[in-house]
Amino acid sequence: MPTGCTVEKSQLYRPNGAEKEYYMSNLSKFKAQLTNDLVECLKAYGYEVVITEQLVQKINGELDALHVKDKKCPSVGAFLYTEPLLKESLQNGYDATLRRVTDGIADFLADVKTGALKTSNLLDDYESLKSNLFLSIINTERNAELLKDVPHFNMCDLSVIYRIKLETSLDGVQTVLIRNHMLSKWGITEERLKEDALKSAEVVNPAQITDMAELLPEVFRRQFGDDFPVPKELLDVPRNVMFIATTDSMVFGAAVIAYPDYLKRIAGYVNDSFWIIPSSIHECIVLPDRFQSGDPDCINDMIPNVNATCVDAHEILSDNLYHYDWEHNIFELKETYLSRIGKLGEFVNF
């Protein structure tokens, strides 16, 4: 926190752990306080900012946001999504959240000022940006409004959309979703965009397929550190049964199913046709056919329950189960696959 910027604790943010419902009902008060505090704290960094409230169309719905711009560089701004920040302040304290956000926005504005973020130039020149194109995949029905304004192609009940990776790093803040008006600005067709994005996606956001037994202990270590022993249950997960298809970054990784010939490559890796469980927009679980001899509805029925209880609403991909037929190179919904092979209705739920 810069010298001279004093943060006073609000009566809304009590250290004794008042119920979260109380705070969520005070989201508007939280936004007002955060706006005022950010304006004052960023002055200590030498920035005079304008902050406006916006609803931003995101995956699976809208997010309430504050848009922060430096008056001297108004062409580029940063979005702060207020509900996640409110939840963070409940967990870590308002002062800590404000300090982190202030430092992050100050760093962002410094990059804008020095030209480290060349967003405007990047978005003007398609030839320069096309090598930074990559894919993400979303649910078509859940994102009907968003898709009206976004170029895409469909895979069953899913839609593949296009993003640009900025020069810094691949994460939710530093990527740009491509919208229809950008194609007009660049003078390109949607077919050209798709062709270029399919070429660059594996370079920008490389795909990976990993044995679940290897990934779970690694995820535990990343979250809790090497000082905590990995639970025996994670070490005893059987190998060569379930796999995770994602990207090296594990960001927007479910889109690997749309990479050219990547479903074939997964089938070769697991040596079988396979079921695809849409874990989230960031990854899919792959279950080879040889390990699913029973009723696939048992898996299908679990997906919406897991989505409702374990997956962030803006990261849900689908409540449906999919299948990839290696021999015929067909990706399809469970019902379509069972109907095609004559087994629809054969299984009975108990």
Question: Any idea which of 160-164, 259-263, 308-312 has the lowest mean pLDDT?
Answer: 308-312
Task: Record the tokens describing residue 23, joined without a space.
Answer: 């705070």
Whether pLDDT at 19 is above 50: no
What whole-number percentage of the chain has pLDDT above 70?
81
Mean pLDDT value across residues 106-110? 86
What gap in Å lies between CA 303 and CA 275, rounded to an integer? 13
Cα-Cα-Cα-Cα dihedral sign, residues 153, 159, 164, 170 = negative
Higher pLDDT, 265 or 54: 265
Mean pLDDT value across residues 339-345? 82
Mean pLDDT value across residues 139-145? 95
Identity at 109, one-letter amino acid code: L
Question: Any idea which of 63-72, 143-152, 153-162, 254-263 has the lowest mean pLDDT?
Answer: 63-72
Mean pLDDT value across residues 76-94? 86
Distances (CA, A) of 136 to 4, 11, 143: 43, 41, 13
Query: In this structure, are residues 337 and 82 in contact, taking their beta carbons and an 8 Å threshold?
Result: no
Task: Record the tokens describing residue 281, joined without a space.
Answer: 């927009």
Average pLDDT, the chain: 83
Whether pLDDT at 230 is above 60: yes
Q: What are the boundaries of each domain within the chain?
A: 20-117, 121-204, 207-340
Mean pLDDT value across residues 226-244? 73
For helices 27-43 and 82-92, give the axis angle rounded to 10 degrees. Answer: 80
Instruction: Provide the 3-class DSSP secondary structure of residue 305.
Output: helix
Task: Record the tokens describing residue 136, joined without a space.
Answer: 């993400």
Q: Which residues are 53's β-sheet partners?
A: 66
* pLDDT score recorded for residue 235: 67
* pLDDT score recorded for residue 27: 82
* pLDDT score recorded for residue 215: 75
What gap in Å lies between CA 56 and CA 47, rounded to an integer? 24
* pLDDT score recorded for residue 137: 97
Whether pLDDT at 250 is above 80: yes
Residue pLDDT, tens place only, 36-68: 999 999 999 899 999 998 887 778 877 888 999
* pLDDT score recorded for residue 346: 61
Q: Distance between alpha carbon 163 and the CA centroid of its chain, in Å?
A: 11
Q: Which residues are 284's β-sheet partners?
A: 245
What gap in Å lies between CA 195 and CA 283, rounded to an integer? 23
Whether pLDDT at 6 is above 80: no
* pLDDT score recorded for residue 21: 53
* pLDDT score recorded for residue 123: 76
* pLDDT score recorded for residue 309: 86
Distances (CA, A) of 89 to 13, 62, 107, 162, 318: 8, 21, 21, 33, 30
